[in-house]
A and B are shown apart, each in its own frame.
Chain A
Amino acid sequence: MADKKIRVLVAKPGLDGHDRGAKVVARALRDAGMEVIYTGLRQTVDQIVEAADSEDVDVVALSLLSGAHNTLFPEVVEGLKAKGMGDVLVIGGGVIPAADIPGLEEAGVKAIFTPGTPTKDIIDFIKANV
């Protein structure tokens, strides 16, 4: 049997137009041997969930710098559960105040990576958790 490749959906929910971080992360994950599906800016929660479903990804990686993470990230987690994709690893990153992180983790986001995170940490986390 061939090695199963890790597939990751890198998605930007909501109206946030900051895409550098998402692109940096996408490239780093590619360079770590993963298949990264990038769907571009301004995705609705439903679009993210549908894309994750069709592409049968192992990880949904959400990037948000606008401040809307407290609503949008948990909605993605719930949407995935409703599709029978509760076992997908959901992680997030961007400008996210430390105070918000426990709440997000409680909601099912497995890890949050804030500005300045070395991409290696993200790669290691994914490899250890899929």
Chain B
Amino acid sequence: MAEPDLLGRRLLFFTGKGGVGKSTVTAATALLAAERGKRVLVVEVDAKGNLTEQFEQGAVGFQPREVYPGVFAMVMRTEDSLKEYLKLNLRVPVLGRLGPLARVLDFVATAAPGVKEILTVGKVCWEVRESIEGRADWDLVVVDAAATGHIIGQLDAPRAIQELVAVGTVRTQTDWMVELLSDPALTALNIVATPEEMPVNETIELVERARAELQVPLGAVFVNRVLPELFTRSDEKTFEALRRPESGAVLTERAGPGATTVLEAARLAVSLRRTRATHLTRLRETVDLPMVYLPYLFVRDAGLRVTRMVAEAMAQELGL
């Protein structure tokens, strides 16, 4: 079970190796919180832009739009974030009027270390702070953040900037961000993994690095796509007996020529689960974070239904 109450925090980041279900878990978390009466902002940072598909909604932009009752989604765009920042902080007239400057700033943002990241994390932190101080009303902000390889750079940006930039407006602004990001009552970085070799490796490495290099508190590991355990040990003996040719003959007689195929499929399922179990064990033995197990869903397609099912499983796991 996840301590201190995951949904009780204000800012949740989700990272993970590509394709493990990061967007699905992020969306499910948002849905779960919304169904418990919270007003949630979901921020998609990963540029793939498929987060709203989890709610079966069309694309959204930088301006949040309600995609599910109580869930508002936005896509991070650093240029927009910069414009907003400049407008709010420096009273600079809308950048459009400065013409090519927007491009130059974008260029700097691409090239200079940490600039893009700070614009991303800064916007997210800002929404949280505004809500805490009563100027915005998000109970919870969840972020479909960068993949494992880039998450440290992203979340560490405020601190990196503090080290690189000695003076200037940005310098003073990073202080409160670092504070917010490192407060375990407010913020958590969660990792989504599947019980497979590479996702588990990346999770283990990330936990180590995050502890060493990052002040952001770690939340939970969401282990997604866990295959069901078909048999107990003694049931398995029965299953083995069923696979003997004599049994096969009886089964074929009763259930038709497909009976042995069905047994073969179950053997495959057992074996797939067993291979994954070794990675799961390794994960559990190496990482001392709360684990939230989410089942592999045997469904035809992705979308709101999958998000709902994952949210339900999550609610059970979290004891909600």
A, B co-complexed: no
Q: Which residues of A contact B (CB under 8 A)?
A: none
| B-to-A contact residues, CB < 8 Å | none
